[in-house]
Each structure stands twice: as structure tokens, then as C-alpha cells.
Structure 1
Amino acid sequence: MTIAMQVLEQSVVVFSQNYLPLCRVNIKRAIVLLVTNKAEPLSLSTEAGWKIHSPSLILEVPKHIRLKIASGERTWKVPPVNRREVLRRDHHSCQYCGSKKSLTLDHVIPRSQGGPHTWNNVVIACEKCNSHKGNRTPFEAGMHLRTKPKAPAHPAITFAEQFWINMQANLE
């Protein structure tokens, strides 16, 4: 693979007008945003970006850019509580033992005890743990959840949290 191809596979972090990290885009998209004056370079670190040469232009593409325009963010709705979404949230593993086989949905507080079918009460459990827990709460069954169930966060917020964690790790 040529060096030019390797550069084109790199990504640039895009920030909103108020400096919230929104997403990563490929260099081609970053160039379009810069050339059309919809974004500006943002220097968060001493790391240089990339020099992109065209027949009539040499463009410096930084590792971080900030949108100049309102980012008309699409509305995002919390996804419905269903097997596919709960599997995604729980990383396809039992929230009691960590198994990745024979997975089922489990209501932390059983529905028969008034437990709702909400993000805060539904987890993934393997058949063995779900059967052992039965119609009881984890406390009554002597079981512990690996993570506290919660609704998925907006993707931009998740990306921003991870971005700042990585930035802090790079500074240390």
C-alpha cells in the first residue's frame, strides 16, 4: 500500500461549534469541510496533521477540525427495549456470569413482582443464570449484576466521553 493510500485511510475528529467532539470522518470528508469553509483547523495537541497535494493546491489537514456552521444534529431517540438492542448494550454476554452462550432477556425485578419492561430493568442472562434466578430478584437469588442496566446514551455523548478519556491518557 502506498503512503498516499495510508494517509487517505486516516481519520479526523470533528468538533461542534461549542467544542463538543462529535465524530470521526475520513480525510476526504475533512478536506471538503475545510475547502468549503464549513470547518476550521483546531489545534488540541502538538501533533501535526497531514499535507495533501493536488495539482493546484497543497492543503494542511489537521487531526482535529471544528465546524463553523450549526451542525443541525439529527434528533436521536432512545431505541426500544428489545432483544437486539439489549444484546448490543450488554456486549452479547450474560450480566451475571459473563457467558456468551444461550442468551435470554431477564427482568432484574421480575414482571410478576411489578418490574417494568424498561432499560433500567432488562438485562441479558444465559439460560443457566436466568433459570437459577427464576422469579426472584438478584438479591433474593444471591446473584450480582456485572453492570447496572441503563438506557443507551446519545452516540455523540459516548464518542465525546471516549475522546476525552483518550486525550487524557495521551497527556499522561
Structure 2
Amino acid sequence: MRSGGHLIRSSAVTSSITDVLTHAVVVFSKNYLPIARVNVKRAIVLLIAGKAEPLDLTGGMAAATTGMPLSKIYEVRSPSTILQVPEHIRLTVSGTERMWKVPPVNRREVLRRDRHSCQYCGSTKHLTLDHVIPKSKGGAHSWDNVVAACSACNGRKGDRTPQQAGMPLTSKPKAPMHPAIAFAEEFWNDFQV
């Protein structure tokens, strides 16, 4: 595959096709926002159809100094062709993005946000919902006031605030982010490490 007129050399060649197909490729939007991970098979379809192009996040710097790019290239071989699939690709088409809105505050969505664990003790058993500021004290049924709590912690906290009960939250509750924004944040945090 060519990127910006330069042939990208393979830096990661895997022996088995099944090994290669298990790898993930990060897909960037046309505006360079990381939006998802796809498998190598899907990346091949996007590249061959002309809907995506290779993306080199090193800017050629690694290739200029060491002769090898930092981004991995996965080779997929057929009897007549060798395809090189980069670790990062960028969409060349801008599709109509689906509208996304913040989901309603309900048990399923709160448990998903809180990773199915009690926000007071970390337990994953007998989970209920708890209003951080109790409704009797004016607390709303909103994303920043509802958390997952095990039944033991919920009973122990009772009709008090976490400060009154001496039970600090492990994380501050907030509304879920747009999936693409959450993925982008996670990607850039991992990329910088």
C-alpha cells in the first residue's frame, strides 16, 4: 500500500492468516478523529473499495531515522497478491453519521456506565441504583445523581448523603459520552503511553 506517495514497508509480518485477521485496525474519520476499531478483514474491504487510505501517525519521522515506521503493517497473502494493511486507516468518504443522544437514566444504562460495580465498595453482586443525594433531600433522578450500588451499601447509606454516611464514591457520576468521543479519548490516552 502507498501512503502519500511513499511505499510503506512491513514492520510486522505474521505467519498465519488467522493470526493476522485477529488484529485490530484503528479507523479515523475524514477529519482525523479516531472513531472505531475494526478487524483486518473489514479494513481490507475499506481500503480496496477506496473508502479508506493508509494513515501514518509517525509522520515519516521513524522511517527517516530508523528505516522502519512505528506503525505496524499486517500482510495478508493470496496466491497472486500481497496486501499490506496498516494499523491505522482514515476514511476518505464522509458518511451521514447517526444522530446520538444521551440515553435515559435507567438501570441498564447506569450499570453499563458504572461497569457493573458498586460505586461505594466495588462489589459486582446484588446491584441496585442509589441516589447520591436522596430524593427526600431534593436529589434528582439524573445522570449526575444516580449510581450503581450493592444492596449492602445502599442499605448502609440509607437516606443520607455519602458525606453524612462516611461512604465516598469511587468516581463522580456523569452522563455517558458519545461513543466516538469516548473511543477517541481512550485511543489518545493509550497512544501517548
Q: TM-score, normalised by structure 1?
A: 0.91
Match of 1:26 in 2: 39
Please state if 1:10 is matched with 2:23.
yes
Structure 1 stretches of 4+ moved >4 Å: none
Matches of 1:43 and 1:141 in 2, distance apart? Answer: 52
Structure 2 spans left out of the alignment, 5+ residues: 1-14, 59-68
Q: TM-score, normalised by structure 2?
A: 0.81
Encode CA deviations 1:83-131: one digit per residue, 9 max, x unaligned: 1111111122111112222221100111111211111000111222211
Encode CA deviations 1:38-81: one digit per residue, 9 max, x unaligned: 11100114233122233443322111100011132211121211
SS in 1 for 2:38: strand
- Aligned counterpart for 1:150 among listed residues 163, 174, 182: 174
The alignment's C-alpha RMSD in Å is: 1.5
Contact 1:16 1:71 in 2 (8 A): no
- Aligned counterpart for 1:40 among listed residues 36, 41, 53: 53
Aligned residues: 168
One-letter amino acid of the counterpart of residue 179, structure 2: P
The verdict on how the C-alpha distance between 1:103 and 1:43 changes in structure 2, with shifts beyond 3 A counting, is same
Matches of 1:125 and 1:165 in 2, distance apart? Answer: 28
Structure 1 spans left out of the alignment, 5+ residues: none
One-letter amino acid of the counterpart of residue 126, structure 2: S
- Aligned counterpart for 1:61 among listed residues 85, 106, 117: 85
Identity %: 64
Match of 1:93 in 2: 117
SS in 1 for 2:45: helix
SS in 1 for 2:42: helix
Matches of 2:125 and 2:21 in 1, distance apart? Answer: 39
Please state if 1:135 is matched with 2:159.
yes
